[in-house]
Chains A and B, each alone.
Chain A
Amino acid sequence: MGLPLKVLRGIRATFHPDTSIRSLRYLARRDKIKRDVTEELETVDESLVGQIRHAYRTNHTAQLAPLNLAIVANADLLLERECGTAVRWEHLEMIPLFKGPGIPGQFAPPENALRLAKVTDYGEMVLENRHKLPTIVPLHLGYFQNAAQNHAMCVSAILEPKESREFKDACCIQEAQGGYIHGADERFIILPQPLRDKALALRGVKDYAKLWDDISRFNHQLGLKQRGHLDELKRAYQPALLETVYHRVNPTLSKQEPYFCATIRSWESNWHPIPHFGQIYIRRC
């Protein structure tokens, strides 16, 4: 059985450019094979391209509208921001960012404004903005509370002044603990970076247990008990976690160099803390 004409044309272009296309027609397979390309036969593809392909193949192009697709070339995330000098603490490098495009005071600070009003059911959190300004719920905010099942958000949100909102796609981050979190003024946490893309991908999914496997894997990587309990991280490493926050020595200097720190600092015109607007975090291996 001969090869399809398209394949022969490809071979001709690469290896036999002098062969005429007419002669290829004699070599090509005559019979046409009709293939059934159905969704059932295709591997499930949940990527953006896969969703678009599925919508067109099933004639459900209306599904494309909610996707609100756009390709934004050269988006400037650092618009009107300035980068400071990078500092490093062991494997973690941090680049401070100054200035910003917004007018300060448009959003209430989250710690001050946000309160976990209650957990209505496993996987459902009610957050309240107590401030007179709108606020932004930081992405993947969560709460630890004793004797209640800890929860975290899969998404960010904008809350109007005094608004209370229920989020039904939150995730439980403490597998074997029962009990609902009560209204709390406790400090919030943010999910560890290796879990964030997983949590975001699970937004909209109503299953409180959806992050347990990922938490379990994450714990295992840190040498902790392999279970869906994020509080294992806090219990085992709280001093080390705090140390990262409150590390005050310029971490880019090696062990011998702190002797020269005082001298170097005196040369730094901007040593005094400048108000930060953000940071870039890089794990250096």
Chain B
Amino acid sequence: MGIELAPDPAFWADLHTPLLMYCYAPLRLLNHVKGTSPWSGESLSIAHLEHLDDLQSRWLTLKDHRQNRVNQFRDELRTLPIIYKQIEEQQAQNTLLTIETKEFTGQMVLQKDKPVYVSLSRKNDV
């Protein structure tokens, strides 16, 4: 698992492909090689559908459910206690730090104390 934040969409557009292709796609492959069945998650039930309104209603319910799960996760990240940080580099208003939380480790760039670049990986995530 990892959290990747870029300063702006142009930066993200450059970073996204190598990040997903080499860094995170192997996570998908690891389970595939082990023969683990993919997590089924919450799927949209389409049994006994009678009309489109019914489909729309089921879709919105499912979407809300998924979004609630994301929001719970987001809230956890918003109160993440950093147990260790070390300033690695400081240039004008930008500061590069190594940070460690109970679960994650990585580096981030603060611009005027706001995180503009973050790259955190879960420890021992194999």
Contacts and interface: CB of A to CB of B under 8 A. Distances in A.
Do the two shown chains form a genuine complex with each other?
Answer: yes
Interface of A: 48, 67-81, 83-86, 88-93, 95, 97, 100-102, 104-112, 134, 136, 138-140, 155-158, 160, 187-194, 196-197, 200-201, 203, 218, 221-223, 233-234, 237, 240-242, 244-245, 252-254, 256-257, 260, 263-264, 267, 275-285
A132 to B, nearest CB: 14
A221 B26 CA distance: 10
Interface in B42-75: 43-44, 46, 52, 55-56, 59, 63, 66-67, 69-71, 73-74
Interface of B: 1-33, 36, 38-39, 41, 43-44, 46, 52, 55-56, 59, 63, 66-67, 69-71, 73-74, 77-89, 91, 94, 96, 98-100, 105-109, 111, 114-126
Contact of A102 (B7, B74, B91, B125): B7
A191 B43 CA distance: 32
A29 B46 CA distance: 75
Given A72-B82, A158-B94, A222 B2 contact: no
Given A107-B11, A156-B107, 16 more contacts: A74-B78, A77-B80, A102-B7, A110-B14, A111-B14, A136-B7, A156-B88, A157-B96, A190-B19, A190-B22, A194-B125, A197-B122, A203-B98, A253-B44, A277-B7, A279-B16
26 contacts: A70-B85, A71-B82, A71-B83, A73-B81, A77-B3, A85-B63, A95-B70, A100-B6, A100-B8, A136-B109, A138-B119, A139-B119, A155-B107, A193-B24, A200-B106, A222-B26, A222-B29, A237-B25, A241-B21, A241-B26, A244-B25, A245-B17, A277-B9, A278-B3, A278-B12, A285-B31
B22 A109 contact: no
A68 B98 CA distance: 11
Contacts, number: 308
A203 B105 CA distance: 13
A134 to B, nearest CB: 7
A220 to B, nearest CB: 10
Contacts of B13: 109, 276
Contacts of A155: 88, 98, 107
Contacts of A221: 30, 33, 126
A200 to B, nearest CB: 6
A160 to B, nearest CB: 7
B21 A283 contact: no
A188 B18 contact: yes
Contact of A72 (B43, B85, B116): B85
A80 B114 contact: yes
B5 A244 contact: no
A275 to B, nearest CB: 3
B27 A193 contact: yes
